Chains A and B, each alone.
Chain A
């Protein structure tokens, strides 16, 4: 079992991958570290590295398994990892704050009341807490352009549902374990659907196919049910507006 493991740690993932994990649990410093290490690996341009990515607290690199000396690559990665304390790294540059209109509850987002009850809040208090929190994009993953957003106040440490919702629509804002996600595709989920936006995060044919970047911040602005059709008609931004941070 993994108890007693020390972090950061490097592991092989498949025959052609290396995974660096900074923590067992989600934390702000570990999330910063994962983003900063990926950025540093990209800058190194090591031959044989084909792709890099991050999850919440880990950095991944995929290499050409047959054309690369994997042990030497792991050595270089270890050296880079040991060269500094990544948990004190700055957040990525060029971050933006996105203000995103959202219809909370109603027929569009049927699990607001249930999620609020789980958090021990009235529906109105739940809306105020979510809308009052600036959430950070911790990583993009699961589906194209889809953010893991955190972190909500402690009351929201509610588990995922054991039964999946068969399908939530694109633009669904869902909550679990003090995190939110804004769905970029229509999919089954165990997260509870508390608000609906008209924002399209993945636009395969657009010049910028993926709207959000790790480090960006998002704040949801409650709008009435009647406003939804107008937001949808406005196009893929659904009334969302970005502004530079810092």
Chain B
């Protein structure tokens, strides 16, 4: 029997997301997909399923959810307060959501985008080859209370596993490659960019995040009259006000503002997850270092399943300790999914 996830309460930025679309760039449609793609791999590793399945992306805050049957879930990305029928559950972990139980997900404690993954994935009809909502293009829309999402079949697997916490939710340094328009900026401007500590501005969404800083804006005389050209996610665009903007998954496909460089894909989860007020630095690297970084990010994604550990419940949180069956649900190690 196929299951449905019912949305009882929805935060303002609740969307279905996956790896996005390829092959539509030439038609003006950017790839889109999850703002923090690494979270898709984490959820897939926790549930033992493909990272191509669609999950729920929650910007800033989550919502209240109930499934029409028992379903395995995983929670990844920006850590948020989560509880099942009022009992707190761990983030960066997978859990059993019993039939009719209420999952509540509150505000982010760190970072921006939290993810709710469901075993079998969200099975909404694909549009142009993917299920991800593309708000800027008008593909799909933010979810609201009363919406219901069909779930795919769960191939089966464990619950009660967790992944180590990551540090991408509080800013840090983003590695940047020089691009076709970097030469429009004088070397002193590039040096100043690297020497500046930026604050992630409150202005930001799935299209991009603006960086604020003290002092003069960044400028390029030649950049004022640059012709519109190809834009890619990760591009650091210098707007009319001289403030850098890092373009994210849902950015436009062409643009006329000069781009000073491009953030590495491996650092894009950090760029997207840095909350307003978080501090960011930009550092130029060469292609060789970039490829090494991308390789190690790919290896880290591939090793996620091996880094899962069994979740140990804190007895202090278990108000009804005696009612717990402490044996069932714990794998004996012969589980074919592990």
Q: Is B127 an interface residue (CB 8 A)?
A: yes
User: Would you call B300 an interface residue if the criterion is a C-beta within 8 Å of the partner chain's C-beta atoms?
Assistant: no
Indicate if the CB atoms of B28 and A21 lie closer than 8 Å: no
Report the nearest B residue to A201, measured CB to CB: B28
- Once A26-B227, A142-B28 are accepted as A-B contacts, the answer to whether A15 and B222 lie under 8 Å apart by CB is no
The answer to whether B264 and A13 touch across the interface, beta carbons within 8 angstroms, is no
| A51 to B232 alpha-carbon distance, docked (Å) | 12
A residues sitting closer than 8 Å to B (CB atoms) are: 1-3, 11-17, 19, 21, 24-26, 38, 50-58, 60, 62, 65-66, 70, 139-146, 148, 162, 184-185, 187, 202, 204-205, 209-210
Q: Is the CB of A139 within 8 A of B254?
A: yes
A interface footprint on B228-240 (CB within 8 Å = 1, 0 otherwise): 1110101100001
A163 to B206, alpha carbons, bound, how many Å?
23
Which of B133-141, B274-282, B329-337 is the contact stretch?
B133-141
Interface contact A142-B253, CB-CB below 8 Å: yes
Q: Which residues of A contact B69 (CB under 8 A)?
A: none
Indicate if B25 sits at the interface (CB-CB under 8 A). yes
Residue of B nearest to A15 (CB): B290
Answer whether A11 and B28 are a contact pair too, CB < 8 Å, given A26-B227, A66-B291, A185-B138. Answer: no
Q: Which of B227, B240, B295 has the most CB of A within 10 A?
A: B227
Tell yes or no: B177 within 8 A of A by CB.
yes
CB neighbours (8 Å) of B240 from chain A are 162
11 inter-chain pairs at a CB distance below 8 angstroms, sorted by A residue, are A12-B178, A14-B177, A14-B235, A14-B265, A140-B27, A141-B252, A143-B136, A145-B27, A185-B136, A185-B138, A202-B138
A52 to B183 alpha-carbon distance, docked (Å): 24
Q: How distant is the Cα of A25 from the Cα of B254 in the complex, in angstroms? A: 15
In this complex, the interface size class of chain B, counting residues with CB under 8 Å from chain A, is 35 or more
Interface centre among A38, A51, A57 (most CB of B within 10 A): A51
Give the chain A neighbours of B235 by CB distance below 8 A.
Answer: 14
Interface membership of B306, Cβ < 8 A? no
Tell me if B255 is interfacial: C-beta within 8 Å of chain A: yes
Are A65 and B294 CB-contacts (below 8 A) given A202-B138, A204-B138?
Answer: yes
Is the pair A55, B254 in contact by a Cβ cutoff of 8 Å? yes
Q: For residue B184, which residues in chain A have a CB less than 8 angstroms away from its CB?
A: 1-2
Q: Give the contacts of B283-338 with A (CB-CB under 8 A).
A: 287, 290-291, 294-295, 298
Question: Are B179's CB and A12's CB within 8 A?
Answer: yes
- B262 x A14 contact (CB < 8 A): yes
Q: Once the chains bind, are B177 and A12 in contact (CB under 8 Å)?
A: yes
Contact A51 B183 (CB under 8 A): no
Please pick, from B227, B252, B265, the residue contacting A143 in the complex, using a CB distance under 8 A. B252
Q: How far is the CA of A66 from the CA of B292 in the complex (A)?
A: 9
A189 to chain B, nearest CB (A): 11
Complex Cα distance A136/B324, Å?
A: 70
B28, A184: Cβ atoms closer than 8 Å? yes
Q: Which residues of B contact A55 (CB under 8 A)?
A: 228-230, 254
Q: Are A141 and B265 touching (Cβ within 8 A)? A: no
Q: Which residues of A contact B262 (CB under 8 A)?
A: 13-15
- B18-50 near A? 1/0 per residue, CB < 8 Å: 000011111111000000000000000000000
